[in-house]
Amino acid sequence: DTAVSQTPKYLVTQMGNDKSIKCEQNLGHDTMYWYKQDSKKFLKIMFSYNNKELIINETVPNRFSPKSPDKAHLNLHINSLELGDSAVYFCASSQGPNEKLFFGSGTQLSVL
């Protein structure tokens, strides 16, 4: 059973398109995150939700809009995709906002 699952695994799209990445966790955790990993493997937090409420928003362009319909799901919608958005996006969850993270397997986004 996958603890943190995200779809799709790979996403290839044209510049200017709008796309979404979905994430679900079955760990019963209260807090979920989106991280971006660039081509040099550097991981940086983008957003965090605790019980469906946004608690961290790390200077991410407003083309990126997270949505948490319930505490087990955190989706990421990206408008007007740009070349620089190409990266691997990881969803993660934790028991609380100050606990260790469990990561999904990532979504590799390629913008052409």
Partner 1 sequence: GQQLNQSPQSMFIQEGEDVSMNCTSSSIFNTWLWYKQDPGEGPVLLIALYKAGELTSNGRLTAQFGITRKDSFLNISASIPSDVGIYFCAGQPMFSGGYNKLIFGAGTRLAVHP
Q: Given the rule CB under 8 A, which residues bind partner 1?
A: 4, 31, 33, 40-45, 48, 50, 55-56, 58, 90, 92, 94, 97-106
- Please say whether the beta carbons of 86 and 68 come within 8 A: no
CB of 26 to partner 1, least distance (A): 15
CB of 8 to partner 1, least distance (A): 13
Token look-up 């971006």 returns 36
CB atoms within 10 A of CB 17: 13
Non-local (6+) Cβ contacts of 65 within 8 A are 76, 77, 78, 79
Which lies closer to partner 1 via its Cβ, residue 16 or residue 96?
96
Is 88 in a helix, a strand, or coil? Answer: strand
Given the complex with partner 1, which of 17 and 51 has the nearer CB atom? 51
Measured from the CB atom, the residue of 12 and 15 that comes closer to partner 1 is: 12
